Amino acid sequence: MAGVRKGRRAGYAAAMPLRLRQLRFVAASLALAGVVSLPLPRGATAGTPPAAGIVLPTPVALPLALRAEVIDAMPHDPRAFTQGLLWHSGLLLESTGLNGRSSLREVDPKSGQVRRRVDLAREYFGEGLALVEGRLFQLTWQNGVAFVYDLLSFSKVEHFEYAGEGWGLCYDGRDLVMSDGSSSLAFRDPGTFAVRRKLEVRRQGKPVSRLNELECVGDRIYANIWMTDEIVVIDPNSGAVTAAIDASGLLTPAERAASDVLNGIAYDEDRGDFLITGKLWPKVFRVRFVPR
């Protein structure tokens, strides 16, 4: 039967109209070069509509390939199961997880010393963290509760309830952007925590799942992909992944063996670079993202 099928395909190719075969050949060549749109038929111009029955696909850009270039390495509490990370006024604000070990922290990045800390009750598993106009929002994993703290006093001032899991959180200047481990991001009202809209994140048309810790920077969202050393950059309007950052190789083999996955992205607006770490990592790295 294998020979029969091969023969049928050869016969079909021989009978295929010449123009269609030419179009497919050129399209395949362009696809190999990273161009995904079909060429125009002979004699057509850019303003000519496609012939009846021919559907031209929408071009899908390849994400820019970047890597994390280390500028500096600073100490980090290796017992901190990092879930959320923020940079504010020269200090790191951090949310840590695990039941019985979850906390909100203010950390001196140079020494790694915890300057202030609020521990969560044992039943809560801390997750993502975001700062909105002097208030810190901290998610919990499966408890369906977001705690709100006053930045100056570190005291709890409010809480919100939500359905589903809480993973990452960031603030884009209007909405709190929240991940839940899927390929979807929820944009929430900071005043009510109600969902305003949802966004499906895709890389070249395919859903990107396991979105974890988030950082909103300008008109882009940076997201850790759980269980990987990759950070993706997301267009918040289309959901398209515009860049993929390789953050592997930051720890030594011995450090990696004693730690967990990459998780934690903070942007230093004054310097224009990033701080990244991971769960149980002994270091925080100041990095810039450069072409691979």
CATH 2.130.10.10: which residues of the chain? 64-291
Determine the pLDDT at residue 84.
Answer: 98
Determine the pLDDT at residue 59.
Answer: 57
Determine the pLDDT at residue 245.
Answer: 98
Determine the pLDDT at residue 29.
Answer: 39
Q: What is the largest CA-CA distance in the chain?
A: 78
Task: Evaluate whether the domain defined by 64-291 bears CATH number 2.130.10.10.
Answer: yes
Q: Is the dihedral of CA 132, 284, 121, 161 positive or negative?
A: positive
Determine the pLDDT at residue 35.
Answer: 34
Whether 181 and 137 have beta carbons less than 8 Å apart is answered as no
Determine the pLDDT at residue 61.
Answer: 78
110 torsion bin: left (phi>0), alpha (psi -120 to 50), beta (else): alpha
What Rg, from alpha-carbon coordinates, does the chain have?
A: 24
Give the residues of the chain that fall short of pLDDT 70.
1-60
